Structure 1
C-alpha cells in the first residue's frame, strides 16, 4: 500500500464530516468568487441610484461565507480526528499482529503512531480544502473573461509561473518533512532505550553521556527544520512578488479599459479583487504544506503497515495429549531441527547462551515462524490453526513478564478468555505467589503501579498467569531464573504433579531443573546434540559444562 492510497483510505473514514467539509468549503469558495462581481453591481447601482438589491446580495454572500467558515472549522477538526484515530488503530493492530519480531525500535514506532499518524490525519481535510481553494482563482479568471477578455489574458500569463511554484513546494516540502520526522523518530527511540535502561545508566554514572547521545541528532533536526522554513519562505516570497506584479498589471489594464469606456467603475473594483483571487494561491499553498506533512507522516506509517504479519488458518487441533513436533526447522541460529516433544511430558531444553533455546520456545507457540520446515501440534501444522485455537492451546511464561490490567488479579487473569476469581487465586497458590500478594495493601485488587515487585515475584505472577489458563502445551522460557532454589523446587514439583496433564517445554539453566524433567533436549550451536534423561547425559563432560564446568547433582 502506497502512502497516497493510505491517505485515501483515511479520507473515507471521515464519513459525514468529510461530506460536510466538502459542501462547506465549496459554498465558501462560491461565495468568495461571486462576491466581487456582486459588489461591482452594487457600486454601479449606487452610482445610478438602483443598487439596493445588489447590496443585500453582498450581505447575503458575506453571511454564507462566515457560516461556511464556521462549519469548515468544525468538520475539518472532526474529520481529522476520525482519520487519525483510524490510522492509529490500524498501526497498533498491525504492530501487535506482526508479533515480537518487528524490526523497529520502540521509540521510533511510538513516534510514527503518535506524531506521524496525527500529521497524516489532516490529509482528508487538507485535500478537500486545497481543491476548494482552486475554485476562486478559476472562477476569477472566468469572470474576468466575461468582463473583458484582455483582463483575463493579463492574469492568465502569470498562472504557469504560480503552478510551477506549487509543484516545487510539494516536491521539496514532502522530502524535507519526511527527513525531519525520521530524525524525530531517532531521538524518540534513543530516549525510550535510555528510559528502559535507566538503572544501568544510573549505576554506570553515564547520564551526561546518554544525554549527549540522545540529543546528538538535534543539529540535523535543526537543519531540516530550517530547510522547511526556507522552502516555505522562498515560495511565499516569490508568490507575494508574483501577486503584487500581477495586481499592478491588472490595475493598469483595467484603468485603460475604464478610460476607453469598455468597463464600468464597479467592474474596475471587481477586476482588482479578481486579480488577487486569481493569483492569490495562499490558501492553496497552506493546504499543500499540510498535505506535504501528511504525506510524509503517511509514508512513515506505511513502512510499518508494510511489515508482514502472520496469517492464521481456521482449524482447531484434534483431541490429543499436546505432542509437539519440529520437522526440519531452520530459523535464525537453529539449523535443521528435528525434534518430538512427547505429549504430557515435561521436557527441559538446555544449552549454552546463544544455542537457540529461546528461539525454539518462540517457535513452539508460533511467536515466530521458521524460515524452513514446520512445527506441528498433535499432528497439525501451527499455521493451519485459528488464532483463537492456537492461543487457547499454548500458554507461555517468560523470564521478564510484562503485567497488563489494572490490578494484580487482572494481571494473573490476563488473556483471551475471562478467568474466574477462584482460578486466579488457585493459580497464584500454585505459582507460590499468594503469600506476597496477600501482603499487598489490597491483595489481588492492588493496582499494579502500587505493587512494586522483585524479579522473582514478577516471575511468579507470570507463572500464575500461565497456570490460570487451560491448554495442552505450556512453554516456560527461562521463567524460573530469578526464583530462589526452594521456590524453584516447588514450581518444579508443580510442573511434575498438578500440571502433568499438559505438555511442558521448559527452557532450563539449572541442573536440578533438568534432572527433574522427563526428557532433556540438549541444544548446541543451533542443533540438537542429544536427547535423553539427565542422568544419562550427565556422563558427557560437554553436557556438564553447560551447567558451569561439571559440578552438579545428576539425580
Structure 2
C-alpha cells in the first residue's frame, strides 16, 4: 500500500508541476464553490426565521433571489473546476503515456515478444486511464469535499457546540469506516486489471492470426480460448465488484444514520428552545450536504483503488530495465567495417532477466567484412542468419565474443548512433495509416520535399510516385500498397537515413521474379558506396555480391570472395549453384 502511494505522489508531482497556473485557477474556483455551498443553507435558514418573524415581502424576495444567485454561481464554479481538472489530468497522463511508450520501445524486441500486444496496450492505455480519472477528480473532490465537510462542522460549532460535535463525530466515523472498508479491495482490483490485460492480449493475438485461424478451421479453438479467458476473469471480477459494493453499501448506511442523527439532534434542541426553526433546517440541510461529500469520497476512493492498481503496474513497467546498456561512442561516418569475433549467442526466454536459457544459435562465429564490400549471407533454416542481423542492430548482445562496426564494439556504441548508421530492409514492411510522405520520413517534418524526391529519384521509382493521385500526399495503408510498393517505401526510408551499413534480410522473398528484378536494380543504387549484407532467399539475390558467408548450425562453414567460391567446384557455394535454385530459410 505504501509503495504504490509513494509512486502515486511521485507521478502526481512530476506531471502536475508543469501546470501550476491551471492548478492555481482550479484551486481558486474550488474554494469559491465551497464557500458558496456553505452560504446557501444559511440564506435559507435566515429566510425561514425571517418569514416566521413576519419580515416584509421585499426582504424575503431579495433573500430568495440571493439564494438562487449563490447556487447558480456555485454551479459555474463547479463547471470551471471540472474543466480545469480534466485539462490538467489529461495533459499529465498523456505525458505519462508518452514516457511509457518510449520506455517500452527502449526495452527492445525481446521484452515485447514475451508479451502480447494487447497486454501492453492495456498497460499503456488502460492503467493510465485510471490515473487520468484519479488526477482529474480524486484530488479535486477530496480537497473540495474535505473543505466542505470542515466548513459544515465549523458552522455547526458556531451555531451550537452540540450541533458541531454531532456533525464532527459523524464525519470522523464515516471517514474512518470508509477508509477501513476500502483497503481489502485493492488486491482484487489489481487481479482484475491483470485478467483484463490477458484478455486483450489474447484478442490482439487472435485478430492478427484471423486468416490462419479461418484457413485452418481453428475458429472453434479460438473461441474456446476466449471462453477460457472469460471464465477465469468472471470470479476475479465478481470478487472485485463485491469489495467495491461493500464501500457503496457502507456509504448508504452512513447517509441513513446521518439523516436520523440530524432529525434527532435538531428536533431535541428545538424542543429545548436552544435553536430556532431555521437552525433546525440548517442542521438537516448540512447533514444532507455531508451525505453528498461522503458519497463522493466513496466514489473517489473506489477510483483510488483502480489508481493504486494502475500505479503498481505502471511502476513495474517503468522499473523494468533492458539488458542493453547504452554506450558512449559514436560510430564513424561512411562505409563501416563489420567484424564478428568468436561470437556465441543463445536466445533468452525471459530476455529482460539476463538469464542464459535456450539452445545456442551462434557458436564461435568469426568473420570480417571490409568497408564498402557487399556480403551474401546464406544458410538453411535455423542456421543463425537473422540472428547475425539482430546482433548488428544491437537488438541483443552476445553472451560471448564481440560484434564490431567501424572498429567500435557495439557494447560501447551509443544505441542511437547504431540505429542511425545501420539501415535494415526486411520482407515484412510496416506501413502506417498515413500519407506516403509520412511513411517514408516516419513523420519527421524536418525532411524537405526536395531531399525526399532526390532519394526517390536515386532509387529509380519517381514514376510510381508521380502516378499516385496526390503524389507524396497520397494516403496509403497496408491494404492499398502491394508487397513490391511496400518494399519501395522501405528502401526510401533506408536511403533517407544514408547509413554506412545496409542489411537486406530476405527482402525479396515474397516478390515475383519480375518485381524482384526491379527491386534488385533499386538495391544496387542503394548499396553504392556502402557496406552491405544481404540475407538471401534466392541465389539470384547474391549473384552480384563481393563475398559469400555460409552458416550451418550456427557456425561459419564457408567464407570468401564470391567469384573464388563459385569457381571452386569443392566449395559449398558452388554446390548450391549446381543443385539449388532456391530454398526456404528464416535465420
TM-score range, shorter chain: 0.7 to 0.9
> Of residues 274, 284, 292 in structure 1, which corresponds to 2:286?
274
1:160–1:129 distance in 2 versus 1, CA, 3 Å: closer
The worse-fitting range, judged by mean Cα deviation, of 150-159 and 350-359 is: 150-159
> Of residues 6, 14, 22 in structure 2, which corresponds to 1:9?
14
Distance 1:38 1:540 in 2: 105
Distance 1:373 1:15 in 2: 52
> Of residues 95, 99, 121 in structure 2, which corresponds to 1:90?
99
2:522 aligned with 1:471, yes or no?
no
- 1:155·1:279 contact (CA, 8 Å) conserved in 2? no
2:52 aligned with 1:25, yes or no?
no
Distance 1:207 1:91 in 2: 34
**1:182 counterpart residue number:** 194
Q: Per-residue deviation at 1:298?
A: 4.1
2:134 aligned with 1:123, yes or no?
yes
Distance 2:530 2:181 in 1: 64
Distance 1:405 1:386 in 2: 31
**2:457 counterpart residue number:** 426
How many residues are treated as equivalent by the alignment?
A: 549
The worse-fitting range, judged by mean Cα deviation, of 437-446 and 278-287 is: 437-446
- 2:458·2:525 contact (CA, 8 Å) conserved in 1? no
- 1:18·1:124 contact (CA, 8 Å) conserved in 2? no
**2:123 counterpart residue number:** 112
1:257-304 per-position Cα deviation (integer Å, ceiling 9, x unaligned): 233333333222222233334455011112222333334344444444
**1:449 counterpart residue number:** 477
- 2:182·2:244 contact (CA, 8 Å) conserved in 1? no
Q: Per-residue deviation at 1:241?
A: 1.9
Q: Per-residue deviation at 1:399?
A: 1.6
1:178-217 correspondence to structure 2 within 5 Å: 178-217=190-229
Q: Per-residue deviation at 1:400?
A: 0.8
Distance 1:422 1:156 in 2: 74
Distance 2:311 2:198 in 1: 17
- 2:433·2:478 contact (CA, 8 Å) conserved in 1? no
- 2:188·2:240 contact (CA, 8 Å) conserved in 1? yes
Distance 1:34 1:480 in 2: 77
**1:505 counterpart residue number:** 533
1:5-404 correspondence to structure 2 within 5 Å: 5-12=10-17, 14-48=19-53, 58-59=67-68, 61-103=70-112, 104-125=115-136, 126-159=138-171, 161-278=173-290, 280=292, 281-308=294-321, 316-319=330-333, 321-327=335-341, 329-331=343-345, 332=347, 333-335=361-363, 337-370=365-398, 374-382=402-410, 385=413, 389-404=417-432
SS of alignment partner, residue 101 of structure 1: helix
Distance 1:240 1:542 in 2: 82
The normalised TM-score by structure 2 is: 0.79
Q: Per-residue deviation at 1:204?
A: 1.5
1:69–1:400 distance in 2 versus 1, CA, 3 Å: same
- 2:267·2:280 contact (CA, 8 Å) conserved in 1? yes
1:49–1:503 distance in 2 versus 1, CA, 3 Å: same
Distance 2:435 2:426 in 1: 19
Q: Per-residue deviation at 1:506?
A: 1.8
1:72–1:220 distance in 2 versus 1, CA, 3 Å: farther
1:235–1:365 distance in 2 versus 1, CA, 3 Å: closer
Alpha-carbon RMSD? 3.9
1:177-218 per-position Cα deviation (integer Å, ceiling 9, x unaligned): 433333332232222222222221221133343234335423
Distance 1:189 1:480 in 2: 31
Q: Per-residue deviation at 1:532?
A: 2.9
Q: Per-residue deviation at 1:107?
A: 1.7
Distance 1:322 1:166 in 2: 66
Q: Per-residue deviation at 1:323?
A: 0.8
- 2:495·2:526 contact (CA, 8 Å) conserved in 1? no
- 2:251·2:298 contact (CA, 8 Å) conserved in 1? no
SS of alignment partner, residue 2 of structure 1: helix
The normalised TM-score by structure 1 is: 0.83
In the alignment, structure 2 segments of 5+ residues that lack a partner are 1-5, 348-360, 583-587
1:510-521 correspondence to structure 2 within 5 Å: 510-513=538-541, 516-521=544-549
Q: Per-residue deviation at 1:525?
A: 3.7
- 2:334·2:530 contact (CA, 8 Å) conserved in 1? no
1:22-41 per-position Cα deviation (integer Å, ceiling 9, x unaligned): 22223222332344345434
